[in-house]
Structure 1
Amino acid sequence: MLNTRWMALALCFFLMGLSSQGVFAQLPDFTGLVERNSAAVVNISTSQKVNATEPQLPDGIEIPEGTPFDDFFRRFFGEGGGGQPSEVKSLGSGFIVSEDGYVLTNHHVVKDADEIVVRLQDRRELVAKVVGSDKRSDIALLKIDANHLPVVKMGSADKLKVGEWVLAIGSPFGFDHSVTAGIVSAKGRSLPSDNYVPFIQTDVAINPGNSGGPLFNLDGEVVGVNSQIYSRTGGFMGLSFAIPIEVAMQVVEQLKTQGRVSRGWLGVQVQDVTRELAESFGMKKPQGALVSRVLEKSPAEAAGIQVGDVIIEFNGQEVNDSPSLPPMVGMAKVGETATIKVIRHGSTRELKVKIGSLPEDEGTMLGSEEAPGARTFDRLGLSVSNLTAEQREQMEIPRHGVLVQAVNPGPAYDAGIRRGDVILRIQDQVIKDVNHFNEVVKSLPKGKSIAVLVQRRGGSSFLALKLKD
């Protein structure tokens, strides 16, 4: 009996050992990948003369005083001298995309630089010129005077899978050719300041100085350009974002050939479909991009796209939510005809739209003023008024709509309606004036989600309002 127990115990340890070996055997070995690709990764240093009294750090990076890296950053980025001109230096990364000296990096790495120096792995330092730079995608293309340079191999971000291993090479804090690894955390991420880039999210350690460097898959192919981190301290916190290489190379090609980037444009503002809004539109589940505004004389208006349409497909690609639509449209060729599927009044329609060119300035600043004639509707808790001619001109609202003068506690406040909003539409009813608004509000059903379209500070969005039983 004793021997049998010892044999069983020995067998158990043996199996555990095999299992452990199997786990370790699955861990990737990055050494060959790094050896093959490090020479194509470069350090980029820039200098700029500014009148400043504070250290100039890269956009979006703040280093609290008293941290271990405080002195380090001040030494690298410079410190002002009573308003006198000073030279500010910054660091970044990049990688060589052609043997004749084209280098890809981030726009924010070289923005406003007076001099850009590219340092190769063999310690050569070459002054670079900017071929072109695109703020919206955060991509810049540089050129150095050299030939027969090592280059990276391009891969595909589309083929990446969440959970897949990836590796970054760059110069965090100026430490050249630092290597970090992690996994793909998510794909198609949309950030507030970058609507036209479907970012790759990873947990690869990225820090200031890594910007512009390559993100590799296990085959040694570049799948992304490391661009941003989410951080409350300025350092790595587990959330890093890379620009898909397909997006980056499309930008590079346009910068090479025409010096600027053209993007597709529909001329709509969109928002997510919440559970309450889906109910109000008679949809079975939240999906797609809800059109909250159609700009005048835009491709969308010409194609017959309407406010309240839910875009669920663009050129055969499924639109799961509102952030996924702008990158699809942005990468479409200007002048081509795209097919769009929308849900309108509970049924699916297919529309053809000729893609326009994205204007340089999309934003419109709006304001609101007090106006006489306000009237309170106890049912919603709103006080509204008709818009004056001056207000309509200022807010670019040619007709229809009422201005919210005050909001009391109630259904409207709970829905997010605030003073200064312009109510343009309730469900399928375009609000003409205060009298029409009053009639529509009186007929609203209880206990059912109601879609209310409001305009606020230049943007339009639907809010879901529900009257209590």
Structure 2
Amino acid sequence: MRAVHAFERHQKVKFGWLGVEIQSVTPQMAQAMHLPEPVGALIAQVMPSSPAAKAGIKSGEVIVAYDHRPIYNVSTLPPLVGDTPPGRIVPIGILDHGKPRTLQVQVGEMPQKMLVAADQQSIDIRRLGVRVGTLGPKEQQKLGVDHGVLIQSVYPGPASFIGLRSGMAILSINQLRVTSPEQLAQLVKSLPANTPISMRIRNHHGSIFVVITLPTR
């Protein structure tokens, strides 16, 4: 609604930005990092000179609260940050090796190049446990592929169970070539439950096949 009101007033739409890459906290990761339970958003990377970096947030820490709101999983955080007006100072609850602390972070404005990337088609595939987006020319060149979809985030589910992470590309599933987020969603919807299914994944080290088992609808 904030964006709608800005359009009505012919104003530029501004989105909040922390400057972190996040991923799901799996049960195994929670145990390894001495966390009481697998909740929150694990910080995989903090961008230099970003609002998060200036506030002292570090990779390996887990965001469990944002502006007094609990962060149960990785998909909870981005909409809250994006809806925060740039310049506002918000409290962020952090777990650092299981020890809690709260930081006051001045939210920045999302850079224009990230807004362009955000406009690309992306979709949540709940049955798989991922959010995937269009694999643009730069990502294709970086990964050395000409098709597939980019994993933007992973939350608790089949994908996190087998170790899929953001930044990987899904090239095929059940031996069918993946060409777009929407097409992958339709393929996943049609696949049987509780049956081992092959999936071809690409990361910076190369392509591998993994086996995934999907739950019922």
Q: Which TM-score applies when normalising by structure 2?
A: 0.54
Structure with more contact order per residue of length (Cα contacts < 8 Å, sep ≥ 6): 2
Does residue 1:367 correspond to 2:142, yes or no?
Answer: yes
3-state SS, counterpart of residue 367 of structure 1: helix
Distance 1:297 1:318 in 2: 26
Distance 1:358 1:316, change over 3 A: same
2:87 corresponds in structure 1 to: 335
Contact kept in structure 1, 2:68 and 2:91, CA below 8 Å: yes
> Alpha-carbon deviation of 1:415?
5.1
1:19 corresponds in structure 2 to: none
Unaligned runs of 5+ in 2: 118-137, 145-161, 169-202, 205-217
2:98 corresponds in structure 1 to: 346
1:253 corresponds in structure 2 to: 5
Does residue 1:300 correspond to 2:75, yes or no?
Answer: no
> Could you say which structure has the larger radius of gyration?
1
2:18 corresponds in structure 1 to: 266
For 1:92-131, list aligned pairs within 5 A.
none
RMSD: 2.4
- Residues 383-439 of structure 1 deviation map (CA, whole Å, 9 limit, x = unaligned): xxxxxxxxxxxxxxxxxxxxxxxxxxxxxxx7569xx9xxxxxxxxxxxxxxxxxxx
Does residue 1:319 correspond to 2:71, yes or no?
Answer: yes
**2:105 counterpart letter in structure 1:** V
**2:9 counterpart letter in structure 1:** T
Distance 2:84 2:142 in 1: 33
Does residue 1:358 correspond to 2:110, yes or no?
Answer: yes
Runs of 4+, deviation exceeding 6 Å: none
For 1:54-69, list aligned pairs within 5 A.
none
Q: Which TM-score applies when normalising by structure 1?
A: 0.26
1:285 corresponds in structure 2 to: 37
Distance 2:163 2:2 in 1: 41
- Residues 307-332 of structure 1 deviation map (CA, whole Å, 9 limit, x = unaligned): 01100000101111010001111111
User: Once the two structures are aligned, what percentage of the paired residues are identical?
Assistant: 31
Unaligned runs of 5+ in 1: 1-248, 370-413, 421-455, 458-469
Contact kept in structure 1, 2:86 and 2:108, CA below 8 Å: yes
For 1:171-190, list aligned pairs within 5 A.
none
- Residues 186-223 of structure 1 deviation map (CA, whole Å, 9 limit, x = unaligned): xxxxxxxxxxxxxxxxxxxxxxxxxxxxxxxxxxxxxx
Distance 1:344 1:284 in 2: 12
Contact kept in structure 1, 2:35 and 2:97, CA below 8 Å: no
> Alpha-carbon deviation of 1:275?
0.5
Distance 2:101 2:5 in 1: 35
1:443 corresponds in structure 2 to: none
Distance 2:71 2:109 in 1: 21
